[in-house]
A = this chain, B = another copy of it.
Amino acid sequence: MPDMAQHTEGLIDHACLIVHGPDKPGIVAAVTQLIARHGGNIVSLDQYSDDPSNGAFFQRVVFTQPELPVVMPELEADLATTLEKLGLKWTLTDLSVPKRMAILASTSDHCLLDLLWRHRRGQLPVTIPMVISNHTNTAEDVRSFGVPFFHVPAAGPDKSAAEEEIVKLLDGNVDFIVLARYMQILSDDFLQRVGVPVINIHHSFLPAFIGAAPYRKAKERGVKLIGATSHYVTQDLDEGPIIEQDVVRVTHADTAADLQQRGADVERAVLSRAVQWHAENRVIRNGNHTIVF
């Protein structure tokens, strides 16, 4: 996958540190001193406090660190000591290591192909070890991008066998999962067993038009805007933390089919932004919403 390499090769010795927890004076100083102490140089730093007095604090720092893979363990030990004392949670990531992204899809190909194509252009810092679909219509396209395709049918009311098979394929192989218009509801058990973030694209502007046939409902209601929402999947279907949303303008003259077509354009744009931001460690979950740096 040469394009991916191209995307992340410029990120050798680049680390991303995410910090969050209760806000208090001195956090930024402590973090930036720690980085300076190890010879790191800050490339970008974003921080946000939802309330300066006793609120929650969130920070994303990207810094260059000579010989990062070598220095990583001692950096982590230092972070553990320094940040845990302040009651803060943290994750340190080597940005030159792309995240491994699995895509689950059904018959619709607009979101799926858009992700594969952006990946090939080097726009998404991920590897794609597999696409799993409960249909076979996209197999040839997927494989033409050099990506393995697995068909896991989901017929019948009992989805547990299908979920079992998907879990086996994913287990240990992926860092996050994208539902690219995957039309099967995933069980809580499945979500717990895969144990990695799952990103969904919802075919309307949440919290409006939840459930089936959103474009028909939108047409009947005579809305003047059509939207899409990308969010993390939680046990409450369609209620997880929102990563990105967008809309397009429509008119009375658009049919329900037109709305669906315009909607597909928004869906793929919104999903691709959400995936890129997640892959770049820009999204921090906080309760039922997100901080996007």
A contact set with B: CB distance below 8 Å: 24-29, 32-33, 35-36, 39-49, 52, 64, 109-110, 113, 117, 121, 123, 140-141, 144, 205-209, 220-225, 227, 241-247, 249, 251-253, 261, 265, 269, 288-292
Contact = CB atoms under 8 A, between A and B. Distances in A.
A26 B26 CA distance: 16
Nearest to A291: B252
5 contacts: A24-B41, A28-B28, A28-B45, A33-B33, A252-B291
Contacts of A40: 25
Please name the 6 residue pairs, one residue from A and one from B, whose CB atoms are nearest each other, closest first. A222-B289, A29-B32, A25-B41, A208-B208, A29-B36, A224-B245
B52 A220 contact: no
| Residue of A24, A241, A252 ringed by the most chain B CB atoms within 10 A | A252
Nearest to A249: B249
Copies of this chain assembled into the complex: 4
Nearest to A222: B289
A47 B45 contact: yes
B245 A292 contact: no
Contacts of A36: 25-26, 29
A29 to B, nearest CB: 4
Contacts of A243: 224
A52 B64 contact: yes
Contacts of A252: 48, 289-292
A244 B224 contact: yes
A269 B252 CA distance: 20
B47 A288 contact: no
Nearest to A49: B43
Contacts of A123: 261
A245 B220 contact: no
